[in-house]
Structure 1
Amino acid sequence: MIVRLMRERFIVVEQHKHGLIAGELARHMSFTPVPLNSVLYAIAQHDRGWQKLDEEMKWDEKKQMPYSFATYPQTPKIAAYTNGIAEVESVDAYAACLCSLFYATFFKEKSDQEAIQFRDREQERQLHLMTHMPKKDRDQLKTNLELLQFCDDLSLSLCFNPFGEAEHPWFKNGIMFQGETYNWKWIDANHLVLTPSCFGSLFSVCIPYRIVNQKRQIVETGMKRLYIE
């Protein structure tokens, strides 16, 4: 889950819903990644493994708030990553390779046994999948991974701040992509512009959210529509 404390309440967005928004952002880019369908599928489905975990809002007793994707216990999180990648692989091998590369970066600096085993397993998966790819698609993996990471960050920044009240600290200095720094500019409460522009036209996304109070009660469930250009 994506969790943000604002005015003594928590805004909560399910992880897979954020992934689908990332996919919408990718679909409206003014350039066309190659192979198109596989890249768009990877971006939209990269967090599908979170669906089961997000069925129940797990509470962090120490911090007195819901667990977020960043603080969720590692063991079930790794299992969710693994299952999600496998589900993507059953549909699209290239997309699965991208998702595997994406998640492996989370554990690049980790040295505990569980993280190392996950990284090693995913590296084996990547090598296996790459051997069955055309060279022209394999050569695009790095560029497409960067696009996945970019769309993930763009979507995260929206889901952390669906009402445009205060940018999350992670994104105060913008979002980097291919040497360029991108920033959201809010025109009004429902309309924002990415600068510099990388979208082909005006479009909208819907962010499904819940607001949870300190007593763990869901006090509001809603859908925030944002118009983006």
Structure 2
Amino acid sequence: MIVYETENAFILIAQHDHARVSGDLVSAWRDELFINCGLREELIYAAYEHDRSWIDLDRIPIWNDAVNSPFSFRDYPGNIRFFFYSKALDQLQSSSEYAALLGSVLYTALAEKIRNEDTVPFVEREFARQSSIIERLQVDVKLLQMHAKALILCDELSLFVCMEQPGTPRERYEWFAEGFQYWFGRSGPSTLIADWADERTIELEPFPFSREVESSLPYKKVSKDDIAKYGISKAYERETLREHKLTFRRKN
């Protein structure tokens, strides 16, 4: 679950719904990412499905007493999280080995950032999965790295629209105030800047997509009064699912 707090409520966004925004972005990427590789649909599939491990975990939110907030993907217990990561990657691999490879690269990059006793066995298993798939499919590692970086960027852009209220100035973001790593410029690695133009429009510079990208983000706004009255699980269940329309466009 992705969670942020307002004065009177918590906004809860299911991870698999956030992944749909990532998929919409990857689907619009400029064609040079896919030239002569035959992997366009695999990469798009990986983007839409990369957070399917959270489908069951997000069905019922859990309260974190330590911070007086629902558990989010940032603080969810690792022993549970990484079990579901592995389970989802097994399922994904049965449909698309290349999509599972990309999902594994994404998850291990995250796990390495929060390295602890829960992440070590997970990372070791996933490195073995990656090596096996790369060898079996004879994957072009440079192409894999480019696809993984595009997936990570689109995942982070989707997090940008989920982690704070729409319209929040970039400078107030804990993770993205300085922008996003961008590996696709002709002069080498640089920075992509994202800013809200209004409460539904995000402007990007540089712009890696072939067109403006329309997407939508389902969410629930759960009041603190209802949480106090019913508990987080019942309050979440009672709340109606809402939708926020989004447009990603080139900065004017």
Q: 1:144 deviation in Å?
A: 1.4
Q: 1:50 deviation in Å?
A: 0.4
Indicate which of 156, 163, 166 corresponds to 1:153. 156
**Matched AA of 1:206:** S
Note if contact 1:185-1:195 (Cα within 8 Å) is conserved in structure 2: no
1:176 aligns with 2:181: yes
SS at match of 2:220: strand
**RMSD of aligned C-alpha atoms?**
1.8
Which piece of structure 1 moves more, 216-225 or 146-155?
216-225
Q: Which residue of 2 aligns with 1:192?
A: 202
Gaps of 5+ in 2: 184-188, 228-234
- Runs of 4+ in structure 1 displaced over 6 angstroms? none
1:18 aligns with 2:38: no
Note if contact 2:215-2:246 (Cα within 8 Å) is conserved in structure 1: yes
Change (3 A) 1:180 1:7: farther
- Alpha-carbon distance between aligned partners in 1 of 2:131 and 2:147, rounded to the nearest angstrom: 17
Residue by residue over 1:25-50, the C-alpha shift from the partner in whole angstroms, topping out at 9 and shown as x without a partner, is 11111233342111111111110010
Q: 1:8 deviation in Å?
A: 4.2
- Alpha-carbon distance between aligned partners in 2 of 1:133 and 1:28, rounded to the nearest angstrom: 26
Which piece of structure 1 moves more, 14-23 or 188-197?
188-197
Q: Aligned ranges for residues 16-165 of structure 1 at < 5 Å? A: 16-31=16-31, 32-33=33-34, 34=37, 35-108=39-112, 110-112=115-117, 114-136=118-140, 138-161=141-164, 163-165=166-168
Q: Which residue of 1 aligns with 2:230?
A: none
**Matched AA of 2:214:** S
Note if contact 2:169-2:196 (Cα within 8 Å) is conserved in structure 1: no
**Matched AA of 2:211:** S
**Matched AA of 2:127:** Q
- Alpha-carbon distance between aligned partners in 2 of 1:93 and 1:222, rounded to the nearest angstrom: 34
- Alpha-carbon distance between aligned partners in 2 of 1:169 and 1:111, rounded to the nearest angstrom: 22
Q: 1:180 deviation in Å?
A: 2.2
Q: Which residue of 2 aligns with 1:5?
A: 5
Note if contact 1:65-1:214 (Cα within 8 Å) is conserved in structure 2: no
SS at match of 1:55: coil
Change (3 A) 1:61 1:205: same
Q: 1:200 deviation in Å?
A: 1.2
Q: Which residue of 2 aligns with 1:209?
A: 219
**Matched AA of 1:139:** K
SS at match of 1:48: coil
Residue by residue over 1:11-37, the C-alpha shift from the partner in whole angstroms, topping out at 9 and shown as x without a partner, is 111001111110111111123334211
- Alpha-carbon distance between aligned partners in 1 of 2:247 and 2:201, rounded to the nearest angstrom: 5
Q: Which residue of 2 aligns with 1:225?
A: 245
- Alpha-carbon distance between aligned partners in 2 of 1:153 and 1:125, rounded to the nearest angstrom: 24
Q: 1:111 deviation in Å?
A: 4.3
- Alpha-carbon distance between aligned partners in 2 of 1:104 and 1:192, rounded to the nearest angstrom: 28
SS at match of 2:193: strand
How many positions carry a matched residue from both structures?
Answer: 227
SS at match of 2:58: helix
Q: 1:108 deviation in Å?
A: 2.5
Change (3 A) 1:100 1:135: closer
Gaps of 5+ in 1: none
Residue by residue over 1:28-83, the C-alpha shift from the partner in whole angstroms, topping out at 9 and shown as x without a partner, is 11233342111111111110010000000111011111100010011110111011
